[in-house]
Amino acid sequence: MVLGLITSYENFNKIKILSCFVQDLCSKTNQNSTLVLFNLQNHPLDQQQLNQISTAWNQVINIKIVFSSKYYIPEIVNHILNNQLSQIINLNDYTYIVSNYDQVFSEIIPYLSYKYNGSIVSQVESINEDLSFNVSAFGGKIISKIEPIKKPVFITIKSYSNNPKLSYENVPITEVELDLSNHMFDIEVIHSEHRESSIKLEEARIVISGGRGIGGKEGFELIKAVAEELGAAVGASRAAVDSGWIDPQHQVGQTGKTVSPDLYIAVGISGASQHIAGMNKSKIVVSINTDPEAPIFKYSHFGIIEDYKTFLNDFLKVLKQSKLPR
């Protein structure tokens, strides 16, 4: 059997991608699927979303978790996996345990692989007929075909592009409520803050990102102005984030967010492999750089060799003029 693990904190698109991947795996292995949802009370999946994804699975376990804001999420998930989940399902029944390559499960999956003495296949992009997995490695420079030797196989998904095929009716949903608000954990959250922008990077149709060539915080003001005009999300390279010009949540790359918009505009980005790994699935890439030799042009469909400030100000003018009534 195939087990999927998600938390309600995850981007809903990624939950759908996971469901598609598991369907593909189930059809190739002729197995059934179970979804375990860690439904966190302060950021729950609503009933409509739950109905939408549940049809992709043979069985769904919805664990509603009441907890204190002082709790560290991976610690809660790990606690439930170790203590409560065994009363609901037997993990030994599962050959494949699948989650997204996100922060929480990057932490949880290796724990489980150790406990169940299985293998880990990380950053999976697709499944082969021989049940080996294609994974992205060396910052996306190569795709390696990995064959798991030990069972169970723990899989984290980086990206996956197929569409869902199956849709089940009357999928049994087991509702479980866990109140952990009196439980004592060893790690305490003493402060937290959200910095989410209005347009989510991973869902945006257009992304405009700035890099080292932007030269400072002010450069991002211009990028934000163009983004607003285009209805785009703002991204950044690691160099710009490391310089403190923009919050790390905007980072696009191997470590940051993986984006695949219709249009990606790279401004003052040289094209280090760290960055390419996060944007090379974009449909059309436009790069603006003063250096015609910058590696980013090898990944771009259109190139502009100009000072970015001059060019973006002109581009902004053109965009604004196009909106004037004629």
CB of 188 to other proteins, least distance (A): 5
CB of 168 to other proteins, least distance (A): 30
Whole-number Å distance between alpha carbons of 267 and 257 = 17
CB of 260 to other proteins, least distance (A): 14
- Take residue 199 and report the two structure tokens written for it: 């347009």
Residues 182 and 71: beta-carbon distance below 8 Å: no
41 class by beta-carbon count within 10 Å (0-12 exposed, 13-18 middle, 19+ buried): middle
Maximal C-alpha separation, the chain = 68
What letter does residue 78 receive in the DSSP assignment?
A: H
Q: Which is nearer to other proteins, 24 or 307 (CB)?
A: 307
Name the 3-class secondary structure at 60: strand
Q: Which is nearer to other proteins, 33 or 287 (CB)?
A: 287
Q: Which is nearer to other proteins, 54 or 270 (CB)?
A: 270
Query: Tokens 């923009």 belong to which residue?
Result: 246
Residues 9 and 72: beta-carbon distance below 8 Å: no
CB of 311 to other proteins, least distance (A): 5
CB of 230 to other proteins, least distance (A): 6
Between the CA atoms of 39, 43, 46 and 52, what dihedral angle is there, to the nearest 10 degrees? -70
Q: What are phi and psi of 71, to 5 degrees?
A: -90, 145
CB of 180 to other proteins, least distance (A): 17
Q: How far is the CA of 149 from the CAs of 58, 65, 121, 221, 225, in angstroms?
A: 26, 35, 10, 51, 51
First CA to last CA distance, the chain: 62
Whole-number Å distance between alpha carbons of 179 and 65 = 6
Residues 18 and 57: beta-carbon distance below 8 Å: no
CB of 234 to other proteins, least distance (A): 15
CB of 166 to other proteins, least distance (A): 28
Q: Which is nearer to other proteins, 165 or 317 (CB)?
A: 317
Q: Which is nearer to other proteins, 103 or 162 (CB)?
A: 103
Amino acid at 274: Q
Q: Which is nearer to other proteins, 23 or 282 (CB)?
A: 282
